[in-house]
Chain A
């Protein structure tokens, strides 16, 4: 089993892992010849299934596996991966490969940085102090948490610039094909409303304030709202006329924010199993008849209730700056498609899919 690639877009990869890390500790990573898939399925809350085209983050990608379709399945702890990528922020080159040390499978990240000042070997010395990866213990991850760095210094030709190579080892687990067979992307009925979301940073800042409002105006003395199930619920609605509404109702206030003039992307008949006829009977076609573009009408809204803090964590994907389409299944679920990278025609586009189930009122 072999895997080796050079990372071509460290910033995107870092932001991507940062977004995943808000939802869970462990990612199931599936590598094959077509794409790279990262899936996070936390015990509670939102799942994310992402499919990255290889060239979104990697180049010179080599994979060799005995498993069918040349596939490698790994269980990767996200926090150590994120830390390793962080140390690669100013790298001139970074490579990742699957390896084994003392029988422990590792993802080994080799980072080359250029130090301009030749007097002090900065960079390499500082990393050893960061080994205390305390959160790993809680992962249920049984391999010993070794997180090693080795450095080798190669003097540049002029003696002024110096190349520093840092190796970060991330202990992982290789998953047998049988163990991931049972994992399937959630299925959902056709959505009632699909709409392009406004800037996620803006949406997140308003959502976070709503969550804060819900917590600060809570009158009940119920304690133990540490589990996400009992946190404040925000109501999110969309219609087929470019309106998105976020609202919160408590005893002491009712607040709602309304976005108008958003885009409802057209459905592609070729993507529908029944073609044009399928589109005509699509729930969103019916929803188009209801409501209006000012968002004042009470008709035509598809609504879901999300847990405020979980929703805020989902929205942190805004840092990737992609186009986000939200699909509302009324009173049932919300699916977010986050499209990143890719060219104008949508070829080589990567997509992150978030499945958020709705709470009952």
Chain B
């Protein structure tokens, strides 16, 4: 048993890409990691009110080897995929360790104050740099030997190799916020930037809650309220100008629905809103909010459909009686 092959060896040609995705969910320090044959899933949670996860599909890696752990006993139980917790801040900093070393970046930053000798020195060490060989930036390798061992990240760039062993902690809970896909009260797809603008707009009054109200007549409004007052942003599919593309790609709402959330929780998804191109916003029958962000990745030479990844957020609604009762028609500001 001592010479088991490592459970996971995954090589990515772009640490930057992984960084972009993982940053979306970096609102807490700890992240739960689940490794399976299909990929690595990172998730974070805030209390049990919100959770976010990003699935790094194996196609995102240039090579991905998963050796299922041996079954605990001779019976043919399917072994559970390994789950553990790591310090997400540390992982992000590690992936970004060469962030400042991008030669183009460095040159632009230093500009004139860098004399020729120093430039020569820099270039000497960069003779085989990624740019010279037109290689993607930041090759990194993830490896995990098995339960109790650290998650190792190995990176190599500009003649320096960095190895980081992240201590793995036992996952405290593996419960997820249930989301009922079969009884959707609302489903709409919009540009992530529209949602970001909305949240930014509403956050100026540091509100406590945000209420999402939707009516079957193709109308959705976001209302924030707090001690300083309330504000509403409305979206509609009935675009007055037929020339412009509709702001809502899809809109499905069987009957009027409304749910309120803690504003801070929705705001935690802001980084994802900034990185993503589109977002699918759904409410289920219980009022649980699901935000699924589509992040386009800048992958060269990849087949179509492989250059995207999804970042998911789920938020539990506040109990009824809070943040209700704003009309949504009066005093609203239309966006198109």
Contact = CB atoms under 8 A, between A and B. Distances in A.
Contact of A209 (B86, B93, B117, B165): B93
B227 interface: no
A206 B125 CA distance: 15
Given A201-B122, A213-B94, A216-B89, A321 B117 contact: yes
Interface in B148-172: 150, 158-167
A100 interface: no
B108 interface: no
A11 B114 CA distance: 10
Interface in A208-226: 209, 212-213, 216-217
A118 interface: no
A141 interface: no
B280 to A, nearest CB: 33
Contacts of B158: 202
Contacts of B87: 217, 252-253
Contacts of A202: 101, 122, 125, 158, 160
- Does more than half of chain B's interface fall in helix, strand or loop, or is it mixed? mixed
B125 A255 contact: no
B159 A198 contact: yes
Contacts of A11: 115
A255 B162 contact: yes
Most buried by B among A11, A199, A209, A216: A199
Given A198-B125, A206-B97, A213-B94, A253 B163 contact: no
A121 interface: no
Contact of B166 (A198, A209, A253): A253
B160 A257 contact: yes
Contacts, number: 91
A11 B117 CA distance: 14
A254 interface: yes
A12 to B, nearest CB: 9
A151 B163 CA distance: 57
A43 interface: no
B150 A257 contact: no
Given A11-B115, A205-B101, A261-B159, A253 B165 contact: yes
B302 interface: no
Q: How large is the interface on B (under 10, 10 to 19, 20 to 34, 35 or more residues)?
A: 20 to 34
A257 B97 contact: yes
A266 interface: no
B100 interface: yes
Contacts of A216: 89-90, 93
B164 A321 contact: no
Interface string A274-307: 0000000000000000000000000000000000
Given A205-B100, A213-B94, A255 B164 contact: yes
Contacts of A258: 160-163
A254 B159 contact: no
Contacts of B117: 321
A74 B86 CA distance: 54
B175 to A, nearest CB: 23
Given A199-B122, A253-B167, A259 B159 contact: yes
B106 interface: yes
A202 B157 CA distance: 11
Nearest to A340: B117
B300 interface: no
A321 B166 CA distance: 35
Interface of B: 86-87, 89-90, 93-94, 96-101, 106, 110, 113-115, 117-118, 121-122, 125, 150, 158-167
